[in-house]
Amino acid sequence: MKPCCHSFADQIIYIHIRIENRSEEVVTFEYRGEIMGQIQQGKTTRKKYMFMLLMVSSLAMTNGLSISALNDSKQREISTNAAAIQTKNQSKTKSKSATVAPAKVIASFSTKIAPGHRGRTHNIKSSTKALNNIVLQPGESLNYSDVVQKTKKSYGLKKAPVIVNGKFVEGYGGGICQTSSTLYNAALLSGLEIVERRSHSLPVGYVALGRDATYADNSIEFTIRNNTEANVTIQTKTDNSKITISILGQKEEGVTYEIKTRVLKKIQPKTVYKSNSISRSKQTKTIQKGKPGYVVETKRVKKKNGVVVEEELMSKSNYRVQNTIKGRP
């Protein structure tokens, strides 16, 4: 809205305001008394006149109007004072809008802890403690290797089943990949950027195919990045039965994320005999039961008020086939 003209009389002051895309409206402010004559005589009522004009100008400008400078030097002074008030009001408005809103839970994800292995449970609980309350500033990344090193230093790692060359064997740190996989899913559901991630070579039982994130010292890294404009905080909670990881920050209004996985290929296991000299008869026993391999596609779907606005391909995960192995009884 912009003023189109100003007119003055001895007793009444008019401010004409044109509102865009609407007909001209006239707002009238009345002040009784021989104002102009008293001002010319230098009487103290000039202060009343200036105060009244200042109030009118301030009111108009506070409501988004721009009061142009008037011809008279005294009136230009009034306009300048009104502009100063407008600047002050705008500054207050910006200050209020710049106030950071309280952090909210953007997304959470939980996985169940399999019972029966103290070493593995220790490693899961220790790595979640090391991860808890980590704050990522806008643009900052988190390498899971830093979490693992903190876990080793603060709590130590115990022996538990780990996957090496497509087989489950005992090794230090078994269970820390359940923490990284839980974090991966929380990050996916929060819309955070996944910088680096790799699946296990075999399917795992605590998350669905295509939704795990493995880690190995000096060879496999898992990295996420805060791609929002506010800090995000990672919070963890663990008991003897499950682990929960939450991402806290500024949640975008009406935005949700959904994770979709699709099996592109399923590879059936074959039967393999341990030695060529072994007869393929009923005298052999099953040493290893076969399990299929998979190629899995993972996508992240962004929705705004329930409507799909973006679909992002996150990964293609390859899981090895485990053949059936037979040998002598």
**How far apart (Å, rounded) are the C-alpha atoms in residues 76 and 96?**
30
Long-range contacts of the stretch 20-25 (C-beta < 8 A, 24+): none
Give residue limits of the domains in the chain: 2-97, 104-327
Q: Tell me: the pLDDT tens digits for 274-313?
A: 875 455 555 678 888 889 999 999 999 999 999 999 999 9
Cα distance between residue 147 and residue 163, in whole Å: 20
Rg, the chain, Cα only:
35
3-state SS assignment for residue 10: coil
CA angle 158, 224, 219 (to 5 degrees): 50
Summarised one tens digit per residue, pLDDT across range 133-184 is 999 999 999 999 999 999 999 999 998 888 887 777 888 889 999 999 999 9
Q: Looking at the DSSP assignment, which residues form a beta bridge with residue 16? A: 5, 26
Of the two residues 327 and 97, the one the predictor is more confident about is 327
Is the pLDDT confidence value at 16 over 90?
A: no
Contact criterion met (CB below 8 Å) for 249 and 234: no
Going from the C-alpha of 120 to that of each of 173, 181, 202, 212, 222, the distances in angstroms are 7, 15, 18, 17, 20
**N-terminal to C-terminal alpha carbon distance within the chain:** 92
Reported pTM? 0.68
With cut-offs at 50, 70 and 90, classify the pLDDT of residue 99.
Answer: low
- As a whole number, mean pLDDT of residues 211-219 equals 95
State pLDDT tens for residues 68-94: 333 344 444 434 444 454 455 555 544
Tokens of 257: 């994320």
